[in-house]
Chain A
Amino acid sequence: MSLYREEILDHYKHPRNFGVLDDATVTVDGENSACGDRMKFALKARDGVLDETRWSGSGCALSMAGASMLSERIKGKKVHDIESITESDILQMMGGAIVQGRINCALLCFKTLHKGLDLLRSEQNITSTPMPITKKMNISEVVARWPETRLVLSEYNLHCVGCHASSFDTLEAGAKVHGMSEDEIDQMIDDLNIVISHKKQ
């Protein structure tokens, strides 16, 4: 059976969701540098749902048809569900008869979409969950509110029994007593924020 089934040819000749999105949440590029296939995916997400997507690009029929078919499949879906699409789902979607030499063509849309999803995730982490812990916060206050920070603090030698740093110091002041550099302090604050964000999920 031909790789170029009616459906593939149809998507290649009449690409769906082709174009750009002015108000996209993220826009990403994908490329198969060896053969010159390239595409752009624009994703617009709100409240965990992919409201809108557009793609554009140029390349072989498989890569273009793949992007078109995938765009139809993900539009209006929960981001969480889109994340669970696998490479073999894509190959299935394209008819399953992809030879090894053309796998990269078929999967370019998948790789590009995943770049977009990654970006979406990090973008949303920054906007929706700003880092709640800052270095100006009081050590005892932090521990009282997020007990799971205890472990991180003790890894950095803060919050230990008989510690030189008083629990009523700020994180920054306490860290300085222990001779930590600015970089190390920032690292610690990051680690604290990571611990509490994991707890939430």
Chain B
Amino acid sequence: MGLSDPISEIPRLGVGLSFQDTLSNFVCEHLDAFDYLEVVPDSLWDDRGRGARPRYEEKQAFLDLLGFVAEHKPIIGHSIGLSIGTDDDIDPEHVEQIATWQKRYQFPWHSDHLSFNRLDHASGHSIDVGFTMPVPYDSAVLDLLASKVDTMQRRVPAPFLLENNVYYFQIPEQEMTEAEFLNRLTERTGCGLLLDLHNVYVNSRNHGFEPREFLEGFDLTRVVEMHIAGGLSVEGAYLDAHSGPCPEAVWDLLDWVMPRVPNLGGVTFEVFSTYYPKMGPERLLEELARAREATADHFAATAAC
């Protein structure tokens, strides 16, 4: 990518917390426990749909909270609303709304998921299936995604990352492996990778592969951010439920991957709002402290550069 590659100039922030509404008090009371706050912008506004004016109704209580946090910590956007894998045109209003938030909070980078959840239904309505469905790793899909990533990069002046997906069923006869597909996408567009280690762990458990071997296929120099989280088993499947502390296997994976991600800007811990009350602030503080310990060498070394 050369000297001008923005990925190599990413700020090294440290350990972040993924914001959920039930974490509001924790965030205000424990600002020192994390180095940045990651927000899902789409969950902090109501999208009234294409054509509605105003289309996006932002929630004042969250704006107040983010205004307070932004005085102390960087804020990162991690969206769910792009549905970049859908075979349609990118939604320009959504992109502009993300650009508005990037400008307002100065996201040093921002991201979305490599998947699809929204599309026009046969009934003529636009539907949202509500979870990140996989796209086939084919060359035609790569062309589609590359063009949408280009649009994001042109409209939003901060590095854009895509997150590796968690999937519960497999699409057969794919033209590329997941690693090949993501390597080509990041090489072609210059976008970064949000490597969710819990997603890798979930997929490895449900589909029976060795996560380190899998990660060896990736160009890990494109990793700007990593996610860590916990999950649970339901009806024979292990779910990416963000339900509490990280499994030991995910900490082990983090230890293995840390020396291999020279452009890493942050590691974010994710817990869903409904599970946080059960987890409690003490346990969350322990997870954040452990993440800091696991990444301290990297951030100390890169800060010294």
A binds B: no
Interface residues of A (CB under 8 A from B): none
Query: Which residues does B use to contact A, with CB under 8 Å?
Result: none
